[in-house]
């Protein structure tokens, strides 16, 4: 849900997002993708029970060809209201380890992706590795906890003082000023806030040799993928590394609540990244381009699903 200025802008965004879901699902080895929905409106002002019920009715009219889940501007409570009108809603289960808030499982996938990226770039584990996180909200908090448990030192900046304080007090994260987080001398930069973190202004500030984080659309423009590679920076494509949430949703749609199965599937994110990194090394192409290429090959049936 977002305050789009026009129907055209909303349509263009939903097409971009649905393409993204398709590619993400292909590389995650799950039979989802092809659709996405947007609601035009300010989530802080225009959201009402009637609106969410209407959305639920609309989704129900598609008879299960489209299944929704929470995303930017919506949350678990909104999904529960839509769920009064349709069974084709996920992310409404509470009181179970999988279902409801997807952030912990997304963070687990990003953690696996950082482990694989560090192994490829530095031939090491996370012990003593310095990681800078831009944004330490829902995903970032769970991610930082796992990184610190594995022996990494985590630096973070967040525009929300409560979120950074929680991470400093509870996890031992080291606070960094907002303006310094992209340029701090670390091994890994993990964008975990909004999209567009890697852009023409920020790219030459980055000292990290790995960029791997949860945020969607980390590259402001397509050419940033190659720009990172030319600077010797290994980039874990965003939609590959942050696919833990959609993998969890897939198991929810199948009615499978076996945590071990979901975790094992999410752990394969590391293997998918390894395949992408190796092909990037062999061809000289950007990892972001390789990910798109692999997804297209999977969708065309040229290769088996990555993780199936
Ligand atoms: P969130 O809103 O809980 O956390 C984002 C954090 O970034 C917040 O604490 C916010 O204050 C902070 N932030 C915003 N702008 C900032 C800036 N300019 N500098 C520093 N900090 C800033 O969101 P989340 O659920 O943790 O998701 C983080 C990112 O991961 C988003 O891009 C989201 O689209 C993506 N993602 C999330 C999931 C999921 O399961 N939640 C799944 C896939 C992708």
Q: Which tens digit of pLDDT belongs to each residue from 108-130? A: 999 999 999 999 999 999 999 99
36 is catalytic: yes
Q: Which tens digit of pLDDT belongs to each residue from 65-98? A: 999 988 888 988 999 999 999 999 986 665 444 4
Q: Whose CA is nearest to atom 8 of ligand 1?
A: 137
User: How far, in Å, from the CA of 102 to the mean position of ligand 1?
Assistant: 12
Cβ neighbors of 51 (< 8 A, separation 6 or more) are 39, 41
Residue 248 has pLDDT above 80, yes or no: yes
Please, what is the average pLDDT of the chain? 93
Buried b (16+ CB within 10 A) or exposed e, 224-240: bbbbbbeeebbbbbbbb
pTM comes to 0.91
Categorize the per-residue pLDDT at 255 as very low, low, confident or very high, splitting at 50, 70 and 90.
confident
User: How far, in Å, from the CA of 239 to the mean position of ligand 1?
Assistant: 14
Q: What's the gap between Cα 244 and its chain centre? A: 8
DSSP 152-186: -EEEEE-S-HHHHHHHHHHH-PEE--GGGTTTS--
Residue 198 has pLDDT above 90, yes or no: yes
The residue from 36, 47, 209, 229 that is catalytic is 36
Burial class (CB in 10 A: 0-12, 13-18, 19+), 243: buried
- pLDDT, average across residues 280-301: 96
**C-alpha to C-alpha distance for 280 and 107, rounded to whole angstroms:** 25
Q: For ligand 1, what atom is nearest to the CA of residue 157? A: 20
Domain 103-242+273-293 maps to which CATH number in 3.40.50.720, 3.30.470.30, 3.40.50.2020, 3.50.50.60? 3.40.50.720
Beta bridge partners of 156: 133, 175
Lowest-pLDDT range of 74-83, 176-185, 226-235: 74-83
DSSP 86-105: -S-B-S---SSSSSS--HHH
43 close to 57: Cβ distance less than 8 angstroms: no
- Delimit the domains of the chain by residue range: 1-24+32-101, 103-242+273-293
pLDDT score for 197? 96
User: How far, in Å, from the CA of 231 to the mean position of ligand 1?
Assistant: 26
Instruction: With CA atoms as reference, report the closest residue to 110 among 294, 306, 267.
Output: 267
Pocket of ligand 1 (CB under 6 A): 72, 102-103, 106, 134-140, 157-160, 163, 178, 192-194, 214-216, 242, 245
CATH number of 1-24+32-101: 3.40.50.10860
Torsional class of 100: left (φ above 0), alpha (ψ -120 to 50), beta (otherwise): left
Using only C-alpha atoms, the chain has a radius of gyration, in whole angstroms, of 19
For residue 227, what are its two tokens?
């720009």
DSSP 223-262: THHHHHHHTT-EE--HHHHTTHHHHHHHHHHTT---HHHH
User: How far, in Å, from the CA of 237 to the mean position of ligand 1?
Assistant: 16
For residue 47, what are its two tokens?
């959201």
**C-alpha to C-alpha distance for 266 and 105, rounded to whole angstroms:** 8
**C-alpha to C-alpha distance for 67 and 56, rounded to whole angstroms:** 10
Residue 306 has pLDDT above 60, yes or no: no
Residue 131 DSSP class? E
Cβ neighbors of 52 (< 8 A, separation 6 or more) are 78, 81, 82
């Amino acid at each position: 849900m977002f305050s789009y200025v026009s129907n055209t802008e909303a349509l263009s965004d939903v097409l971009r997002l649905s393409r993204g879901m398709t590619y993400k699902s292909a590389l995650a080895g799950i039979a989802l993708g092809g659709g996405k929905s947007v609601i035009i409106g300010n989530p802080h002002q225009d959201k009402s029970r009637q609106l969410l019920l209407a959305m639920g009715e609309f989704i129900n009219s598609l008879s299960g060809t489209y299944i929704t889940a929470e995303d930017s501007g919506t949350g678990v409570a909104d999904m529960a209201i839509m769920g009064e009108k349709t069974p084709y809603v996920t992310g409404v289960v509470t009181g179970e380890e999988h279902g409801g808030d997807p952030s912990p499982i997304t963070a687990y996938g990003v953690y696996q992706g950082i482990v694989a990226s560090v192994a490829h770039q530095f031939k090491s584990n996370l012990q003593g590795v310095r990681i800078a996180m831009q944004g330490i909200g829902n995903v970032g908090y769970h991610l930082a906890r796992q990184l610190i448990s594995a022996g990494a030192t985590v630096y973070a900046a967040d525009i929300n003082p409560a979120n950074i304080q929680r991470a400093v007090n509870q996890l031992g994260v080291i606070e960094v000023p907002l303006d310094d987080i992209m340029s701090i001398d670390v091994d890994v930069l993990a964008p975990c806030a909004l999209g567009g973190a890697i852009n023409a202004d920020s790219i030459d500030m980055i000292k990290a040799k790995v960029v791997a984080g949860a945020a969607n659309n980390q590259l402001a423009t397509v050419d940033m993928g190659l720009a990172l590679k030319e600077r010797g920076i290994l980039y874990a494509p965003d939609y590959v590394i942050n696919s833990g949430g959609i993998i969890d949703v897939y198991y929810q749609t199948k009615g499978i609540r076996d945590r071990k199965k979901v975790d094992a599937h999410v752990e394969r994110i590391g293997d998918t990244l390894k395949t992408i990194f190796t092909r990037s090394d062999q061809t000289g192409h950007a990892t972001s381009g390789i990910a798109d290429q692999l997804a297209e090959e999977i969708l065309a049936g040229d290769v088996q699903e990555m993780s199936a």
